[in-house]
Amino acid sequence: MKNNFKIIAFDADDTLWVNEPFYRETEKKFFDLLQDFGTPEFLNEELFNTEMQNLALYGYGAKGLTLSMTETALRVSNQRVNAKTIAAIVNLGKELIQKPLVLLEGVEEVLKTLHKSNNRLIVVTKGDLLDQERKLLNSGLGQYFHHVEIVSDKKEENYQKLLKKLEVAPDDFLMIGNSRKSDIIPVVNIGAFAIFVPYHTSWQHEEADKIESSHCLEVAHIKEVLNIIEW
Amino acid sequence: MKNNFKIIAFDADDTLWVNEPFYRETEKKFFDLLQDFGTPEFLNEELFNTEMQNLALYGYGAKGLTLSMTETALRVSNQRVNAKTIAAIVNLGKELIQKPLVLLEGVEEVLKTLHKSNNRLIVVTKGDLLDQERKLLNSGLGQYFHHVEIVSDKKEENYQKLLKKLEVAPDDFLMIGNSRKSDIIPVVNIGAFAIFVPYHTSWQHEEADKIESSHCLEVAHIKEVLNIIEW
């Protein structure tokens, strides 16, 4: 793979900092709240279905999850769930938004090194804008990034629009992230480059098979990025 | 005021298309749903307080409003509100997200004219990204804009960050919008230019007094923008 780029873009959640485990924890508490109405497996399926149905309306992020949990609670209980449980669900969502920021190991070293050598680094994320700005502020990583780009989804068309906005050719754009579906496959498909850094926990909506391409690499740890990119 | 700019930015809601009246309508339906627990005036004040308390967590947009309506319903009812009412509130939020797109009169003519003469036009909005992308798509106005910028708020620091990201000097940036508080005052305060185009309905959170500055103008109708900017 080539080793220099005009823009190096990092996914945020579970690439720079911990996110998915907090979502799993929130869901587990939600299943506990609703244990009178079904097993965790049943509730998980119901919640996932609600989220998929609402995705076009709500997009990604904690607010959409909170609304989908509320809707799922109403449905699986045949509207018998009580107000206290609804209040607890709304609070679960607020707790999720306020989780501490936990940086992933090696991230700061990689960003510092690339930034020092004048690589232009940006964040590209499909989370909620306010959530992501708060996380970036709490992470202390803001100094390394030129700016943050929030996209409503990470499909080929979203990357195409982004590259046009950034006025950068696909050949000069590298994306680094933990979702093959969102950070790797669409990027490679539009002719840009990608490095996959897996994370141990991922949302079932983000799962996709490995692809073979001279435009992408898979590494075990984010520090390996420094063996690939010129700095 | 000067008459040419590198970037002309338009606010979206109630500058390009109808928004606030749909929010007022949604709130009115919410007050009807909760009439057992208080007058519209009381509920309006309670809802506004909840929204203000949640603003730092939820930001702007329909999802935050839906969660704040739910929380208000739980509080004013002392958690006696029933599940049917909660379901109706969640549905009010979904209806709001799916309101038809109604362009404001004169907008398309202004955009078409400015775009033809090679002005670089962008949208700058603090609404929810997905909502705004959907509205832009439904508006048919996408062709006139270079891109959309979503900001988590419209304070001086947000505009400063935006101008840095766009690599444009304050002197080359014009903002056009219907909120003095969000579109005019912070823009003028950082040395850029602004045109205020009032709209008949505004959220109490957006109200602010008129300011006097050579960097801003107030017009009665968006078409007057064509008398001010070079095209």
Q: Please name the residue ranges forming H helices in chain A.
A: 20-33, 40-58, 62-76, 83-97, 107-116, 129-139, 156-166, 185-189, 225-228
Count of positions (residues) in chain A? 231
The 10s digit of each residue's pLDDT in B148-167 is: 898 989 999 999 999 998 99
Whether residue B78 has pLDDT greater than 90:
yes
At B130, phi and psi to the nearest 5?
Answer: -65, -45
Contact A98 B161 (CB under 8 A): no
Write down the pLDDT at residue B202. 77
Whether residue B91 has pLDDT greater than 80:
yes
How is A24-59 classified by DSSP, letter by letter?
HHHHHHHHHHTGGG--HHHHHHHHHHHHHHHHHHH-
Write down the pLDDT at residue A71. 98
To the nearest 10 degrees (0 to 180), the angle between helices B83-97 and A62-76 is 140
Write down the pLDDT at residue B101. 96
Domain boundaries, chain B: 7-17+101-228, 20-97
Write down the pLDDT at residue B150. 87
Contact B130 A70 (CB under 8 A): no
The alpha carbon of residue A149 is apart from the nearest alpha carbon of chain B, in Å, by 9
Position A200 confidence tier, pLDDT thresholds 50, 70, 90: confident
Contact B129 A129 (CB under 8 A): yes
Q: What is the pTM of this model?
A: 0.90
Q: For chain B, which residues lie within 8 Å of any Cβ of chain A, measuring from their own Cβ?
A: 57-59, 63-64, 66-67, 70-71, 74, 77, 79-84, 86-87, 90, 93-94, 97-98, 128-130, 133, 146-147, 150-152, 161, 164-165
Contact B67 A71 (CB under 8 A): no
Architecture of domain B20-97: Orthogonal Bundle (1.10)
Whether residue A210 has pLDDT greater than 90:
no
Q: Which of B71, B129, B152 sits opposite A59 (nearest CB)?
A: B129
Those residues whose C-beta lies under 8 Å from the C-beta of residue B67, and which sit 6 or more positions away, are A63, A66, A67, A90, A93, B54, B58
Position A14 confidence tier, pLDDT thresholds 50, 70, 90: very high
What average pLDDT does the structure give for chain A?
95
**A42-61: average pLDDT:** 95
Listed range (A96-100, A111-115, B147-151, B169-173) with the worst mean pLDDT = B147-151
Q: CA angle, corner A190, sides to A104 and A167, nearest 5?
A: 80
- ipTM of predicted assembly, 2 dp: 0.89
Residue of A85, A96, A128, A163 for testing the chain B interface, max B β-carbons within 10 Å: A128
Architecture of domain A7-17+101-228: 3-Layer(aba) Sandwich (3.40)
Q: Please, are residues B126 and B150 in contact by the beta-carbon 8 Å criterion?
A: yes
Give B-chain residues touching A97 at CB under 8 angstroms.
57-58
The dihedral sign for the CA sequence A112, A117, A118, A124 = negative
Pairing of strands B216-218, A7-10: unpaired
**B44-57: average pLDDT:** 96
Contact B147 A165 (CB under 8 A): yes
Strand order in the sheet with B173-177: B147-150, B120-125, B7-10, B173-177, B193-196, B216-218
The dihedral sign for the CA sequence B48, B51, B52, B53 = positive
